[in-house]
């Protein structure tokens, strides 16, 4: 569990800057909601916990726990720089296409067909370390040259797989199931001041940039940690929205 701290001077300065023009964007690939100016929502910020985060090392994936996913919530992630955040599962057909395009992942397409997205996600999180390396290492090897030469762009999930693996290697982490989120989750790209509404029980994973978390005091923020994953893979996935 994570608990945000009370606003410090840095947070208050950031909020003051954000008051001049907080807005959000809408795209066909993410569930973004237009909020308008921060001044219209100042009371919501005053009743929420705030935490500034900078993606510097391998990140967990998170979700806001609620017994009823339709329960009213105003949980935001606000970009403080160009930020990229994986949020919400793609459609089954989108995931299937990505798996079939990569030879080492094709067996997972059969799992998706038989068990659905939830079953696939469970399967990945309970897989052995050897299985994860066998699925991902061929992709890393085949695309290494194109990634280093800048041929693969940010619209390709293989690009983000390489970026995350570089971070894992830098901090000495073994590959884990969170890496598959680049193929399973939608991508939200936020510029400074752009806000992403995070719905209850919807998984999200920041992968680049700086951002501000705005969390309701009654909300519980749960995480799938990249280190704890090695020791505890029995996640409460029944709470997640698929």
Domain ranges of the chain: 92-184
Residue of 101 and 25 predicted with greater confidence: 101
What are 60-89's pLDDT values in tens digits? 788 777 766 556 555 667 677 778 899 889
Residue 227 has a CB neighbour count (10 Å cut-off) of 12
Burial class (CB in 10 A: 0-12, 13-18, 19+), 135: buried
Burial 66-86 (b: 16+ CB within 10 A, else e): beebeeebbbbbbbbeebbbb
Residues 6+ apart with CB under 8 A from 98: 90, 105, 157, 183
Q: Look-up: residue for tokens 């992968």?
A: 207
Using pLDDT thresholds of 50, 70 and 90, give the confidence band for residue 180. very high
**Does residue 164 carry a pLDDT above 70?**
yes
pLDDT average, residue stretch 35-63: 59
Integer angstrom CA distances of residue 46 from 12, 125, 149, 219: 11, 37, 46, 15
**Among 157, 179, 159, residue whose Cα is nearest residue 168:** 179
Burial class (CB in 10 A: 0-12, 13-18, 19+), 31: middle
Looking at the DSSP bridge assignments, the partners of residue 38 are none
pLDDT at 127: 87
pLDDT at 42: 40
Region of poorest pLDDT, from 12-16, 21-25, 83-87, 225-229? 21-25
What does the alpha-carbon distance between residue 175 and residue 180 come to, in Å, rounded to a whole number? 10
pLDDT at 138: 97
Is residue 49 helix, strand or coil? strand
Residue of 57 and 91 predicted with greater confidence: 91
Mean pLDDT of the chain: 75
**Strand order from edge to edge, sheet including 185-190:** 185-190, 83-89, 204-208, 61-65, 220-224
pLDDT average, residue stretch 136-154: 94
């Amino acid at each position: 569990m994570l608990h945000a701290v009370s606003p410090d001077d840095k947070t208050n300065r950031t909020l003051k800057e954000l008051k001049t023009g907080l807005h959000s964007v809408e795209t066909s690939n993410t569930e973004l909601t237009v909020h308008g100016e921060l001044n219209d929502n100042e009371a919501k910020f005053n009743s929420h916990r705030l935490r500034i985060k900078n993606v510097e090392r391998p990140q967990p994936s998170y979700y806001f726990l609620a017994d009823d996913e339709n329960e009213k919530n105003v949980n935001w992630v606000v970009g403080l720089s160009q930020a990229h955040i994986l949020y919400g599962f793609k459609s089954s057909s989108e995931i299937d296409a990505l798996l079939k395009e990569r030879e080492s992942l094709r067996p997972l397409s059969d799992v998706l067909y038989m068990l659905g997205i939830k079953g696939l996600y469970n399967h990945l999180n309970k897989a052995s370390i050897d299985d994860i390396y066998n699925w991902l290492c061929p992709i890393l090897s085949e695309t290494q040259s194109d990634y280093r030469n800048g041929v693969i762009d940010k619209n390709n999930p293989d690009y983000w797989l390489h970026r995350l693996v570089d971070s894992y290697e830098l901090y000495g982490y073994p590959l884990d199931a969170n890496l598959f989120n680049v193929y399973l989750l939608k991508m939200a790209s936020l510029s400074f001041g752009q806000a992403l509404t995070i719905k209850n029980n919807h998984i999200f994973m920041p992968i680049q940039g700086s951002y501000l978390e705005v969390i309701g005091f009654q909300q519980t923020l749960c995480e799938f940690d990249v280190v704890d994953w090695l020791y505890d893979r029995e996640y409460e996935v029944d709470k997640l929205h698929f």
